[in-house]
Amino acid sequence: MARWGMVIDLNKCTACQGCATACHQENNVPPSNPKLAGERRSIRWVDMMPMYEGEYPHARMSLLPMLCQHCEHPPCIKVCPVGATFFSESEGIVGQVYSRCIGCRYCTNACPYTIRQFNWYQPKLPSTYLEGTNPDVSIRYKGVVEKCTFCNHRLMKARDEASAKGRDLLPGEYVPACVEACPTEAMVFGDLEEPDSNVSKAARSKRAFKLLEDLGTEPKIYYLREGMRQ
């Protein structure tokens, strides 16, 4: 079984939001507009979250790429009354079944990372945007919750291609769009269960930390602190 995870090096991240743009394009995330932005209802699977270290007025601010943490013990799953959100035991990915979602938003309230997005309105995609939508990802509709899936459709496609060739999935064949698009290679992705993988080595760094780790959710997104040597 795999445990897919990610390590984000804050020394390398420039907060260019290339990861967010790639995510929007890959996963058919509807574009925002002034009305949605004013209501704070823009859909973002990857957001830039400010983090402060130190005391005012000498506090240091970092911008963390914030996405679903794909917790090993996700609280969102425990509160979903219809099984619309689930945990893949074989992959370690927290998924979402949009056709089951009834829009109760219990999962949104239970998530301590506040990264689940609710569709308050029917998504309006410009004609030029529709021409570039990804046929491998369904377009969500009003009244459902959505979030990062680690580009799970890419995993399924890569596994199918490997199976057709009669072999196992090779390292590097499955990479989410955000990781692929990062211009500074601040994001490392792979199987955390493979001790020799780049992501496992990075996760064992003395710089590594996880958000709200004391809650026991065991997120599979690691961050590497700024200003420290490996």
Sign of CA dihedral 22, 28, 33, 36: negative
Please tell me the predicted confidence (pLDDT) of residue 10.
93
> Token pair of 183, please?
């211009």
pTM higher than the cut 0.95: no
Identify whether the C-beta of residue 189 lies closer than 8 Å to the C-beta of residue 4. yes
In the 8-state DSSP scheme, what is residue 159? H
Please tell me the predicted confidence (pLDDT) of residue 20.
95
pLDDT, mean of residues 48-60? 83
Amino acid at site 36 = L
pLDDT, mean of residues 29-55? 88
Distance of CA 18 to the CA centre of its chain: 14
Q: 52 pairs with which residues across the strands?
A: 61
Please tell me the predicted confidence (pLDDT) of residue 173.
95
The answer on pLDDT for 193 being more than 90 is yes
The answer on pLDDT for 4 being more than 70 is yes
Q: 62 pairs with which residues across the strands?
A: 51
Predicted confidence band of residue 52 (pLDDT cuts 50, 70, 90): confident
Q: What structural domains and CATH numbers belong to the chain?
A: 4-224 (3.30.70.20)
pLDDT above 90 covers a percentage of the chain that reads: 77
Contacts of residue 130, Cβ cutoff 8 Å, sequence gap at least 6: none
Q: Write the pLDDT tens digit of every residue in 210-223.
A: 999 999 999 999 99
Please tell me the predicted confidence (pLDDT) of residue 199.
97
pLDDT above 70 covers a percentage of the chain that reads: 98
Please tell me the predicted confidence (pLDDT) of residue 200.
96
Q: 117 pairs with which residues across the strands?
A: 146
Please tell me the predicted confidence (pLDDT) of residue 228.
57
Distance of CA 60 to the CA centre of its chain: 25
Distance CA 94, CA 68 (A): 8
Identify whether the C-beta of residue 178 lies closer than 8 Å to the C-beta of residue 155. no
Predicted confidence band of residue 56 (pLDDT cuts 50, 70, 90): confident
Distance CA 197, CA 185 (A): 16
Predicted confidence band of residue 201 (pLDDT cuts 50, 70, 90): very high
The answer on pLDDT for 121 being more than 80 is yes
The answer on pLDDT for 27 being more than 90 is yes
Predicted confidence band of residue 22 (pLDDT cuts 50, 70, 90): very high
Distances (CA, A) of 203 to 32, 174, 175, 190: 34, 19, 17, 11
Contacts of residue 57, Cβ cutoff 8 Å, sequence gap at least 6: none
Give phi and psi for 87, each to the nearest 5: -115, 125
Own/partner pairs for 37-41, CB < 8 Å, 24+ apart? 39/120, 41/118, 41/120, 41/121
